[in-house]
Structure 1
Amino acid sequence: MNKEPTYVIVGASLAGATAAQTLRELGFAGRIVLIGDETEHPYERPPLSKGYLLGKDERAKIYVHEENWYAEHAVELLLGRRVTLLDRAAHEVELDTGGRIGYAKLLLATGASPRHLRLPGADLEGVHYLRRVEDSDRLRETIRAGGRIVVVGGGWIGLETAAAARESGCVVTVIDPRPAPLIAALGSEMGAFFAGLHLRHGVDLRLSHTVTEFQGTDRVTGVLTDDGSEFAADAVIVGIGAIPNTDLAERADLSCDNGIVVNEMLCTQDPDVFAVGDVANSYRPFYSGHLRTEHWANALHGAPVAAQAMLGQRVAYDKLPYFFTDQYDVGMEFSGWIGPDGYDRLVTRGDVDGQAFHAFWLADDRVVAGMQVNLWDDGIAPVEELIRSRQPVDPDRLADTSVPLAAHVMA
């Protein structure tokens, strides 16, 4: 009889696969069951709106591990299966096939789902959402065909897919209710920078407007906005945010508030249940509060911490929020958190017009967030050091490229 414990991971994603890898690397010899409702092996999602969508990256490049890795490391990979019930009292999960699997420790890496528009015509053929690899496959074929693409939403997914469509020769219109794209993430000034980037590449930006209807009979042919404007469309891409997949946790009476609420060890109020990735609203000691972030880095860096915590180690997930984007000839990294109180000053350092610069968001002369654009030699590390130092800076000196960034962090 096998007396080794069973660890179950719900969500065969980057976070789930990385947690399984970490468990094995740390010497866990028990049973690991990794369950995913997709039929694909665990893969990374950023390429779906970047290199893979453009056809620059081969499909094999998106996978977290090669297919034989799971068998070689005794990770039971159950694909195309959905967990329908979490029975905390019995320490079991139930599958849609009716079977149950017992666990000693459970990790929820259930991710998030695209937020859908509830408008007339929203279910027409040709209205796309992007989350899974098959979504990217369909969208890639669509933009390769050229034609007129309307993108609803000026966030990261919207702008990245707009860039991919333009690079494929499509006529692209982006519609967003805010006066600039990316305002929620970057504020109005850097939102204007990305607006300018897309305008220079021929995108028709329709800002401060909302979509009221998708037109067409069986397939979408156009989009109607609140001012009565009509935009012909051979396809529509909707990117208006995501909703954390908390249903399983909620029905198990786990605390949920904008995600599954976990502590700095990524543990729920149940000491045997953990959560990681897009679905986790985790306590960050640096901020003395909870944050939920949706990006590759959160899954990649959070998963090892969850694995360590499942093994009983005293750890804390305290990475600064980080994300990156690639659009046309612009590559960007961002780190930090503007927070509910926002910022009172934006400082740029370098050549903004030449698309090679740093930007810093300051609150009370302290850097709370920063990004680098096309400055890969410097990278994002100096920005993170400035944020973590919590030291006041001289904004004019910070903008001076003759002063090394390291000089702003006192020993």
Structure 2
Amino acid sequence: MAIAVPHPLGLTHKQLFWVLHLGGWLAYVGLGSLSTLAYGKPGGYAMVYLATGATGAATTLGLRYLLRACRGRPPALQLAVMVLPILASSALMERAGRHLKLQFCPDCQPENALMVFAYALGNIYVVLAWVGLYLGITYYRKSQDETRRALAARTMAHQAQLKMLRYQLNPHFLFNTLNAISTLVLDRDNATANRMVQSLSAFLRHSLDSDPMQRVTLRQELDALTLYLDIEKVRFAERLRVETAIEEDCWRALLPSLLLQPLVENAIKYAVARQIEGGLLRIQAHRDGDHLIVTVTDDGPGCMALEGDTLPAGNGVGLRNTRERLQVLYGDAGSLCARNLVRGLQIRLQLPYETSTSAAERRPGRDDAR
């Protein structure tokens, strides 16, 4: 998987290498020239550092290709391969500057092989510093690339998980709806059957066309929920009663699309369908500081398996689906709790209060603080 991430200065990795490589050797020549002035040497002595630096810039390019060829090999093997080239690079630098140096210092001519070797090692610290910086920057860049790939993979995994959770449709809902349509057709209530088919079609089209990664406003969520309730109202008629109580500043709050549908479906299945007289479904939303609180309440028999205010781990596909979506999207900032009332069950959702404006302000690229 290739991930193209531009450098903060707008440079590619290759361009950045040349800037650092040439800039480093020019700094070496510049510092040498300053030391010439500081020690009162003739101005032409700076040519010694120029020749040495130019040779170092050329020979370390060869070291670069060797280091790239050894990349991924065991450290001991890399060290064995690089020892002689590093020594040779240092010796070539000394040799390039020696001819010019002898014009100013005739006594600097090496008298024996040992002195030649000592002079050859005179620049090894510069070469080693270049190799160390090259390896350090290379491994840092590799580490950053791996981190970016890991983050991209994690993001893709989260997106896949969210899409899977979002596209889950309760087979009971589809079975019951199609069965109700079949019953209406057999009873020759074609008008009602047609209305139910149209409602089902509208709901499925909305649920499949909407982007599972896209958040919607609470108003849009309730509009989508109305498509689902239109289907259920055909089935239950007057037995299904729905009330809403939404605070004014909650209408524009953002939440994952079709987050409430599984909760409403669960309430209809366990509270409305099981009572001869039907039941009441109440959807409420209010703001609590930086959080949006949404509750779905029914007047059914409640949940006997409830443990404290949290549903058991295996309780309800719809509730588990909703809880997992909140966990993936918001982490600890999102939660789903449940509690039995004197009559009925209440599901309480808590998630960060965000609007389209606040979400855009926190989007990467719009705010350096993130």
- Structure number with the higher helix fraction is 2
Which of these two proteins has the greater Rg computed from alpha carbons? 2
Q: Which has the higher contact order (CA 8 A, sep 6+)?
A: 1
Q: Report the TM-score, using the length of structure 1 for normalisation.
A: 0.20
- Structure number with the higher strand fraction is 1
Q: Report the TM-score, using the length of structure 2 for normalisation.
A: 0.22
